[in-house]
Amino acid sequence: MVQINLLRLRQSRTLALTGSVGQDSEIWAGSGLKFSGAVEVTGTAALTAGGGVIVQGAWKAPLLYECGRCLDELQVAVEKPLALVFVPAGEWEGSDPDVRPIGDHDTLLDLEDAIREEILLEAPRYYTAAEESGRCVRCGDPTDRFKSGPAEADGEVDPRWSALRALRTD
**Given the rule CB under 5 A, which of 12-20, 40-48, 71-79, 98-106 is the region that contacts Zn ion?**
71-79
136 touches Zn ion (CB under 5 A): yes
Q: Which residues contact 37 (CB under 8 A, 6 or more apart)?
A: 23, 62
139 touches Zn ion (CB under 5 A): yes
DSSP class of residue 147 equals H
By C-beta, is 103 or 142 nearer to Zn ion?
142
By C-beta, is 54 or 139 nearer to Zn ion?
139
By C-beta, is 60 or 138 nearer to Zn ion?
138
41, 115 Cβ separation under 8 angstroms: yes
70 touches Zn ion (CB under 5 A): yes
By C-beta, is 92 or 161 nearer to Zn ion?
161
Strand partners for 45: 15, 55
64 touches Zn ion (CB under 5 A): no
Question: How many other β-carbons are positioned within 10 Å of the β-carbon of residue 41?
Answer: 24
138 touches Zn ion (CB under 5 A): yes
CB of 99 to Zn ion, least distance (A): 42
92, 79 Cβ separation under 8 angstroms: no
Q: Which residues contact 147 (CB under 8 A, 6 or more apart)?
A: none
76 touches Zn ion (CB under 5 A): no
**Which sign does the torsion angle of CA 148, 150, 154, 160 carry?**
positive
Which residues of this protein are in contact with Zn ion, per CB under 5 A? 70, 72, 136, 138-139
